[in-house]
Homo-oligomer: A and B are copies of this chain.
Amino acid sequence: MVEKNKDKLVKEITSMDENFSQWYTDVVSKTELVDYSPVKGFMVIRPYGYAIWENIQAAYDKRFKETGHKNMYFPLLIPESLLNKEAQHVEGFAPEVAWVTHGGNRKLEERLCVRPTSETIICSMYSKWLHTYRQLPYLYNQWCSVVRWEKTTRPFLRTSEFLWQEGHTLHETPEEAQEETMQMINIYREVAENVLAMPVVVGLKSEKEKFAGADKTYTMEALMHDGQALQSGTSHNLGQNFTKAFDIQYLDRNNEQTNPYHTSWGVSTRLIGGIIMVHGDDKGLNLPPAIAPIQVVVLPIAQHKEGVLDKAYEIKKALETNFRVEIDDSDNSPGWKFNQWEMKGVPIRLEIGPRDIKNNQCILARRDTGEKIAVPLDELETTLKELLDAIQQNLFDKALKMREEKTSVALNMTEFEKNLKENPGFIKAMWCGDETCEDSIKEETGATLRCIPLEDEQEILGEGKCVCCDKPADKMAYFARAY
């Protein structure tokens, strides 16, 4: 019975304010999203975590296909000589790849790296397939895992292996490539905001922070509860860097051999880390209904009494068509169950007991606000739908409010450091564009340039002078400490 009681405790989660990092670790492990594996830096994504990923995948995959992209699959292993073909790219990735040196019992003639990203192997095939402009655009995507050897790892946020998608497209003109780059970062944003309820700032990465081999990298950056930023998705305009290095040529409309323009873009299981740190609280997870593996958990109250379990199962069965619903008829106490399912972040708890049955109603409790309402059973579906929509919206609104409260303006480095100390979060500041200033800010404060917002979200702060060197600056940028 000792074993039994052990299972019956809802395990304590460290308070966010006390130790945010420990809070995160507690939440991901106690809600059984992930576990650490026997391989250092590699995580196991458990069923509850994987179900969130499946819902995120479905949301993105649908939009990729609606915009004409198709999926495909390229080899896991990439020959060293291919990786070496694009100079900036290899410089960026070589230090963090895993090398396969033996196949079966034999030493390989050439080392193969486990893909850290697939531009090189995909370009080597595109160069074989593309002949004429009539084949363009190439709009392809791949869902897979990638490996990047990391020294310090945290589940979902930075692990030596993670799951992601990588889009790889080719276009006739630089304008079309730029349009695609923007279309994809906008799709990333739309899903982040409307499905994950996670507001993001979209903008351009600095030269220093862009993808190894890209002309331009666009990013979406979300702000976590502790005031740190999370790079949540990137879309790269790769120009002709790879298409020239890999000799991808086609006969264009003028009957001339030419190199196409190229983009790539990716989001990963990192998004799950974002969802946890944007919406979670001291009770645990707080999942947006659109991606919650369980949207409604049915808890029979006094389940030993006649008719309660039957009714609970009847309700579950009726709801299953339109909602992701589970029932908890374990012999744990109601109090334990309340805590357990709150910790798991299930948006709505549905309680049904003998008195409710008599009144032909049930009780719905919201995870986000704690609010409880009694609902007539014949209005249940409609109310649930409204409630889930309301929760989805409320989570977004709360996250946006949090981000706004944690976003400040700094006109000089004194303000910058003061803000970062007193109200950690995004700092909006003018930047002259000089990498020396970017480096100096990072060195002094630990904050990095997260992104330079797009035209329509740009503004001139103060007198338009660089927060660091005081020289004229025409761009505002977001800075933050980041994961």
Residues of A within 8 A of B (CB): 3-4, 6-7, 35, 37-39, 42-47, 49-51, 53-54, 70-79, 82, 95-105, 112, 114, 121, 124-125, 128-129, 131-132, 134, 140, 144-145, 147, 149, 160-161, 163, 251, 330
Contact = CB atoms under 8 A, between A and B. Distances in A.
Contact of A96 (B3, B100, B104): B104
B100 A114 contact: yes
Contact of A71 (B7, B51, B101, B128): B51
Contacts of A77: 39, 42, 98, 114, 147, 161
B37 A121 contact: yes
A102 B112 contact: no
Given A77-B98, A131-B7, A39 B112 contact: yes
A7 to B, nearest CB: 6
A72 B46 contact: yes
Contact of A39 (B43, B78, B97, B129): B78
A121 to B, nearest CB: 7
A281 to B, nearest CB: 26
Given A75-B37, A114-B114, A132-B4, A140 B103 contact: no
A70 B77 CA distance: 28
Given A44-B125, A50-B72, A161-B77, A98 B96 contact: no
Contact of A145 (B6, B44, B140, B144): B144
A40 to B, nearest CB: 9
A421 to B, nearest CB: 34
16 contacts: A3-B251, A35-B125, A37-B75, A38-B124, A39-B79, A42-B76, A42-B77, A44-B74, A50-B73, A76-B76, A76-B114, A97-B104, A98-B104, A99-B101, A100-B100, A144-B145
- Most B CB contacts (10 A, CB to CB) among A51, A78, A104, A129 go to A104
A103 B460 CA distance: 45
* Assembly stoichiometry (copies): 2
B132 A7 contact: yes
A111 B330 CA distance: 43
A257 B105 CA distance: 39
Given A50-B72, A98-B100, 6 more contacts: A37-B75, A38-B82, A39-B79, A42-B76, A47-B72, A73-B145
Contacts of A72: 44-47, 49-50
Given A37-B75, A38-B82, A132-B3, A103 B149 contact: yes
A182 to B, nearest CB: 23
A314 to B, nearest CB: 20
Contact of A38 (B73, B114, B121, B251): B121
A104 B73 contact: no
B102 A99 contact: yes
B3 A37 contact: no
A361 to B, nearest CB: 30
A111 to B, nearest CB: 8
Interface centre among A38, A132, A145 (most CB of B within 10 A): A38
A409 to B, nearest CB: 40
Nearest to A70: B47
A7 B125 CA distance: 18
Contacts of A74: 37, 44-45
A79 B38 contact: yes
A129 B7 CA distance: 12
A19 B103 CA distance: 32
Given A37-B75, A39-B112, A71-B51, A131 B95 contact: no
Contacts of A71: 47, 50-51, 54
A377 to B, nearest CB: 27
A100 B99 contact: yes
Contacts of A125: 35, 37, 44
Contacts of A102: 98-99, 101
Contacts of A4: 132
A112 B102 CA distance: 11
Contact of A76 (B70, B99, B121, B145): B145
A50 B70 CA distance: 9
Contacts of A124: 37-38
A152 to B, nearest CB: 13
A79 B54 CA distance: 27
